[in-house]
């Protein structure tokens, strides 16, 4: 693998993070990418993976993690990189041990429910990872959250009492009333599924969180992960207005190992990055005037800026996610 972090990053870690982070971190949002699962068309949409030699296995996660977070014991919940051209059964075989490595199966609404269930059991996974690019296609309309899966798939996941990590669709994210209505519908209709809404409902800027995260307090099966959230304001708002024991740390690795910062501009956001890859909503800074750190470090800065008590930090960085995934794994696989 290419050099991922620089000498300047190492210095930042020592100056700002060493000794301030808990000893153990559970990363609840990691993309595990195996070459065997992915087609050439898939790599066209994820050119930045070239930096990781087009692969990010569980071993790669631990290797990069050791470089980026030296001295910290890492655990993870992994899942493939979503795509219709990704072999989802192969991606499910990522090598979980349900001690430090937990996993989810990518699902398309077109995958038959028996195959999904069989893969989950065979590879000892804790749930599902649907995505808008694997949802039901309805000509002429934008994908809705409920197009991500079929009722039969959801009933199976509910029967097995598993987790679902969900990246909500549509331009307006958590601000979109239809998204919130369908999120509430899912939480109510499938009370035994733990719904982890990724990126705090994609709230990369404040207007997507303020006055909205509260709507989900009443659903005990609704959780947030904070993957790629670089905004201290969004995190502070969420910690101030939502039960902290349902907020979990995630990184969205490998993308957060790249250098850059997500910044809020006029109720929108932008990834400013010195990396020569298209990261979606991103602007390339080739000026060389700014020294960047990895997105992951910007996330850590935002969290540490909250000055949470030690116990809350340990819960956020480890206990909440570990306890949730571990309780599923114990019930399913360690009887």
Please state, in angstroms and rounded to a whole number, the distance separating the CA atoms of residues 322 and 316: 10
Nearest distance in Å: CB 122, Zn ion:
24
Q: For Zn ion, which is the closer residue by CB, 119 or 252?
A: 252
CB-based burial label for 198 (10 Å; 0-12, 13-18, 19+): buried
Nearest distance in Å: CB 227, Zn ion:
6
Q: For Zn ion, which is the closer residue by CB, 22 or 82?
A: 82
Please state, in angstroms and rounded to a whole number, the distance separating the CA atoms of residues 189 and 200: 21
Nearest distance in Å: CB 248, Zn ion:
14
Name every residue whose Cβ is closer than 8 Å to that of residue 233 and which is 6 or more positions away in sequence.
206, 264
Nearest distance in Å: CB 252, Zn ion:
4
Name the nearest CA neighbour of 3 among 256, 250, 258.
Answer: 258
- Residue pair 272/293 in contact (Cβ under 8 Å)? The answer is no
Q: For Zn ion, which is the closer residue by CB, 229 or 332?
A: 229
Please state, in angstroms and rounded to a whole number, the distance separating the CA atoms of residues 314 and 187: 26
Q: What letter would DSSP give residue 286? A: -
Nearest distance in Å: CB 197, Zn ion:
12
Identify the residue whose tokens are 């992960």: 225
Nearest distance in Å: CB 170, Zn ion:
17
By residue count, the chain amounts to 335
* Lookup: tokens for 32: 């595990």
Name the nearest CA neighbour of 3 among 330, 259, 251, 174.
Answer: 259
Q: For Zn ion, which is the closer residue by CB, 234 or 332?
A: 234
Q: For Zn ion, which is the closer residue by CB, 60 or 252?
A: 252
Identify the residue whose tokens are 């087009």: 54
- Residue closest to Zn ion (Cβ): 252
Q: For Zn ion, which is the closer residue by CB, 115 or 133?
A: 133
- CA 227 to chain centroid: 5
Q: For Zn ion, which is the closer residue by CB, 118 or 132?
A: 132
Nearest distance in Å: CB 326, Zn ion:
21
The site for Zn ion (CB under 5 A) is made up of 252
């Amino acid at each position: 693998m290419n050099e991922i972090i620089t000498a300047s990053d190492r210095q930042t870690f020592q100056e700002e993070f060493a000794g301030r982070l808990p000893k153990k971190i559970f990363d609840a949002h990691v993309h595990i990418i195996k070459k065997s699962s992915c087609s050439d068309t898939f790599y066209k949409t994820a050119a930045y993976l070239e930096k990781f030699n087009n692969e990010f296995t569980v071993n790669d996660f631990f290797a990069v993690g050791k470089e980026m977070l030296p001295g910290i014991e890492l655990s993870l919940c992994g899942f493939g990189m979503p795509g219709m051209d990704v072999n989802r059964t192969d991606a499910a075989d990522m090598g979980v041990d349900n001690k430090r490595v937990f996993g989810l199966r990518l699902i398309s609404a077109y995958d038959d429910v028996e195959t999904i269930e069989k893969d989950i059991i065979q590879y000892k996974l804790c749930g599902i990872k649907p995505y808008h690019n694997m949802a039901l296609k309805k000509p002429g309309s934008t994908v809705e959250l409920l197009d991500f899966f079929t009722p039969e798939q959801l009933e199976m996941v509910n029967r097995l009492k598993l987790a679902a990590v969900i990246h909500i669709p549509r331009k307006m994210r958590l601000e979109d009333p239809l998204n919130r209505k369908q999120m509430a519908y899912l939480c109510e209709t499938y009370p035994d599924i733990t719904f982890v809404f990724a990126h705090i409902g994609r709230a990369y800027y404040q207007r997507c969180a303020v006055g909205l995260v509260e709507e989900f307090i009443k659903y005990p099966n609704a959780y947030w992960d904070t993957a790629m959230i670089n905004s201290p304001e969004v995190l502070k708002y969420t910690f101030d207005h939502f039960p902290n024991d349902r907020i979990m740390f995630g990184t969205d690795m490998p993308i957060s190992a790249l250098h850059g910062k997500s910044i809020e501009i006029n109720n929108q956001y932008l990834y400013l990055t010195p990396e020569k890859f298209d990261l979606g909503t991103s602007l390339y800074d080739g000026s060389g005037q700014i020294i960047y750190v990895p997105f992951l470090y910007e996330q850590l800065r935002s969290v540490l800026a909250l000055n949470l008590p030690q116990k809350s930090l340990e819960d956020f960085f480890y206990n909440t996610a570990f306890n949730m995934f571990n309780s599923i794994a114990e019930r399913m696989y360690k009887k």
